[in-house]
Amino acid sequence: MAKERKHVVIIGGGFGGVNAAKILGRGKEYRVTIIDRRNHHLFQPLLYQVAMAALSPAEIAYPIRSLVRRYPHIDVLLDEVVDLKPDQKEVVTKTRSISYDYLIMACGSNHSYFGNNEWEEHAPGLKTLGQATEIRRRVLLAFEKAANEKDIEKQRQFLTFVIVGGGPTGVELAGSIAELSRLSFRRDFKNLDTSRTRVILLEGAPQILNAYPKKLSYKAALALEKLGVQVWTNAMVTKIESKGVYIGDDEFVKTSTVLWAAGVAASPLNKKLGSELDRGGRVIVGQNCQVEDHPEVFVIGDQAHFKAKKGDTLPGLAPVAIQQGQYVAKYLNQMAKGKKMGPFHYIDKGQMATIGRNKAVLKAFGIEMSGMIAWFAWLFVHILYLIGFRNRMVVLFQWAWAYLTFKKGARLIIDKEWRTHSRLDADI
């Protein structure tokens, strides 16, 4: 083409960024650069299965470069954005400055410790593959340590798992640990009574799965309790230490493993826009996902505060990010042709959370469901949306195998320290 292509920069290769990139790539109107500090797109909804030793990291991740390899005008940059200069239309990364004509911010969310970031050391959250393998390491090590421990008091501490946050991730983690212990580990740990495992799910609100109707939340709690999970609602964590968790004014649970599934943090980049943020630090966007003072900047997904027609703010879910990414890309493609597009409409395809073997809750298109059918629906939808034919096949196979044999496929404790020589030398 004779005309110079305008440059679209996308920050983040998650659901929002990748879906925007693909449509821009097909439209051939722009030159696109995707910046991400990791080399892979991650299928977040199955991340808890990596943490729970059911899947391998590579089975739910895909190189961003490979996702867009067929589009000649899309570049991928492995780098970290450290600053934004919206007035100069510039993104500053660790290695360079990049100017843009249009910017799509699709940075996703991090977890928040509500001002207590020192808790992270003792209570990892679950947003990245690095965190998932760290959680896997901690959970598997806790069982190994319990098996090696003669002191009953200490053994109980190793066999106690506290999950903070009763959203979908917290529910999935709690259910999985209970199943690991009851079903997978019972025969492997001969000297350990795995029925002594305590899994405690803490939720600050009066019910778990707050985004779901009361009835489904109640059914989920019942199903969790059947698996041996203790559900403590109205339970506010006040402190987390290496030896345990403090709840409310004076309760204390001794545990060696705390997992964090509560709270979402705003990206510090949002502040650089100089635009209005909501109480949670998200950017308030208009009906085209645009930033008010900078119509060339779009914010989508978890970091966008988008008011739907009914007045509800859209939740931080994968379908929202996907649809917003596709919308913004279509909007830009239309704009290049001199056409206009109407405002973004979210098509609510429902929500679902799995609790364990054969159990899930689901609400979609006005239907509420729980149990086995919801669980199959969950399986189907997640396999369907998983990227790449190979990953789908391998995950399907791993699931079928785990379902039939009760064995988990990725029960690995991998050393954090890869160097071996310092240690060996010390031994000699």
Indicate which residues carry an active-site annotation: 172
CB of residue 68 to its own copies, shortest distance in Å: 9
Q: How far apart are CA 298 and CA 237, in angstroms?
A: 36
Number of Cα atoms under 13 Å in the Cβ half of residue 218: 4
CB of residue 28 to its own copies, shortest distance in Å: 15
Q: Are 37 and 93 contacting, i.e. CB atoms less than 8 angstroms apart?
A: no
Residue closer to its own copies, measured from CB, 114 or 380: 114
CB of residue 70 to its own copies, shortest distance in Å: 8
Residue closer to its own copies, measured from CB, 8 or 355: 8
Tokens 């019942």 identify what position?
Answer: 222
CB of residue 58 to its own copies, shortest distance in Å: 4
Q: Are 361 and 369 contacting, i.e. CB atoms less than 8 angstroms apart?
A: yes
Residue closer to its own copies, measured from CB, 169 or 324: 169
Provide CB contacts within 8 A for 224, sequence distance 6+: 171, 174, 175, 178, 201, 208, 231, 355, 356
3-state secondary structure of 287: coil
Residue closer to its own copies, measured from CB, 75 or 101: 75
Q: How far apart are CA 198 and CA 201, in angstroms?
A: 10
Residue closer to its own copies, measured from CB, 188 or 276: 188
Q: Are 57 and 132 contacting, i.e. CB atoms less than 8 angstroms apart?
A: yes
Phi, psi of 316 (to 5 degrees): -85, 70
Q: How far apart are CA 44 and CA 101, in angstroms?
A: 30
Residue 384: Cβ within 10 Å count: 8
CB of residue 218 to its own copies, shortest distance in Å: 34
E strand segments, 23-80: 30-36, 40-42, 61-63, 74-78
Residue closer to its own copies, measured from CB, 337 or 422: 422
Q: Are 138 and 124 contacting, i.e. CB atoms less than 8 angstroms apart?
A: yes
CB of residue 278 to its own copies, shortest distance in Å: 17
